[in-house]
Chain A
Amino acid sequence: ILNVEQSPQSLHVQEGDSTNFTCSFPSSNFYALHWYRWETAKSPEALFVMTLNGDEKKKGRISATLNTKEGYSYLYIKGSQPEDSATYLCASARGSYKLIFGSGTRLLVRP
C-alpha cells in the first residue's frame, strides 16, 4: 500500500447501531496514526494518536485499534448517536510530522 486508504467512503446507520471503519496505510517508515473527527464548518478534532503496534485507545463510545505490521487501523463507534455524524479522517505520519491523509469515511446516523 502506497497511500492511506479509508473504507467505506460513506456509511448510513440507524441510531443505536454500532459501526466500524478501516484505515489502511503503508507499514514502512511508520511513525504514528491519527484519527480525526470532522464536522461540517468546524475544525477537524483529534480523536486518537496511536504509535505502538497492538495499541488500543478509547474515548467514550469511540475506540480504535492499530496494527503497524500489516498497516491497518479500525475505528469503532458503539451505539451510534446522531451527533456522531461527521467525516472521520485517518492520517499516517511517516518519518516526520508530515501527515498523509485518507479521503475519509462520511458517517450519517439517522435518528
Chain B
Amino acid sequence: DIVMTQTPLSSPVTLGQSASISCRSDQSLLHSDGDTYLSWLQQRPGQPPRLLIYKISNRFSGVPDRFSGSGAGTDFTLKISRVEAEDVGIYYCMQATQFPHTFGQGTKLEIK
C-alpha cells in the first residue's frame, strides 16, 4: 500500500492568516493515464469528511477559492488563505492512483 505522510500534525493559525499542509507519498502518484490522483479532504468536528481538492489542484463543487492545492510526483501541498473559524478541523490527503486508496494521518487545523 502507498503510505501517505502529512506534516505538520497540528497547525495553529491566526484568523485571516494562511496555513499550509504538506503531504508526501512513498511512491509516485502519477497514474499510467497521465493524471495524478491526489485529493484533499476536510473533516470538521463531528462531521463526515468533505472533498475539497481533487487531482492535485482542482477545487470540488462549492469549495471556496481560499483553498488551493499544488505539487507533483510524491510531494503535495494544501494552502488555506485567509483562514476563517469554519476552517477548523482535520485535513487529510488521499491517493487514489493505486488500490487501496490510502489517506494521510491527518493535520489538525486550530485557531490560535
Q: Do A and B bind each other?
A: no
Residues of B in contact with A (beta carbons under 8 Å apart): none
Residues of A in contact with B (beta carbons under 8 Å apart): none
